[in-house]
Amino acid sequence: MQPMQHQMMGYDRAITMFSPDGRLLQVEYAKKTVSLGNTAIGMVCKDGVLLVTDKRIMDKLVVPEAIEKIWQIDDHVMATAAGILSDARILVERAQEKSAGYRITYDSPIDLLSIVKDICNLAQYCTQSGGLRPFGVSLLIAGMDSDGKKLFVTDPTGLYNQWKAVVIGEGEEDIQPILHKEYKEDLTVEQGIKIAVSGLKKFLGDQFDIERVDAAVLMDSTKNVERISREKINKLVK
């Protein structure tokens, strides 16, 4: 093991340098950062699309309501993230500007794939340019467009995938098996919230607190991003 570690040293100094076994180590470090980030869950339900995330409140003196980890990109698009949240903020603001510009230019809402591709194009550019570093964050982007409800995950490499239900962040290994077992395409949003919060409970254990949970939904009926109050979450998970 030691000779291999010695051999790999130096190949992580620059983003544009491949290791002898064909890896970009700086990109892998960025993906590791995502796996250590706060847990974020997304689900496409029969009556809407849902995002639930862990606010990860580290100090009891912090005001929970002041921590925002689900962002509205447009009336019909929202996002959350795992990893370096300052990186996420830059990407979300870029998506907000692109969405607003599209509305001004075409007088219609932007489609989700255009937002996702724009973010991933920038992320990929940062994996091949000297003097830059990869974005240490993955985004969960959920919304509706003319093709229906969609949920995408972006990656520090610039890769993106569409999902029915997914978890990113530190709770992925514990919660993704729960989604594989319990997710069904005919789930309601309320049922989805119960599954997501129970997954967070299982992962966080004694550290779980309902104040750590941030949730938002896009319902088929309204087609607008809506925050889910702590009182409603409490009522659903009892």
Question: Once rounded to an integer, what is the mean pLDDT over residues 8-25?
Answer: 81
Give Cα 20 to chain centroid, integer Å. 32
Residue 17 within any structural domain of the chain: no
Instruction: Give backbone dihedrals phi and psi of 142, rounded to 5 degrees, phi first.
Output: -125, 145
Q: Is residue 8, in this structure, part of any structural domain at all?
A: no
Q: Is the pLDDT of residue 26 over 60?
A: yes
Domain ranges, residue 139: 26-237
Please report whether residue 119 resides in a domain.
yes
Structure tokens at 79: 């996002």
Using CB atoms within 10 Å of the CB of residue 63, give its burial: 0 to 12 exposed, 13 to 18 middle, 19+ buried.
exposed
User: In the block, which residue shows the tokens 């255009």?
Assistant: 114
Domain assignment present for residue 3? The answer is no
Q: Has residue 11 been placed in a domain?
A: no
Segment 140-180, tens digit of pLDDT:
999 999 889 999 999 999 999 999 999 999 999 999 999 99
Where do we find the tokens 């978890």? 167
| pTM, 2 dp | 0.92
Position 16 in a domain: no
- Quote the CA–CA distance of 205 and 221 in Å, as a whole number: 35
- The reply to whether 122 falls in a domain is yes
CATH classification of the domain holding 180: 3.60.20.10
Provide the domain count of the chain.
1
Assigned domain for 6 exists: no
Kindly tell me if the per-residue pLDDT of 194 is higher than 80.
Answer: yes
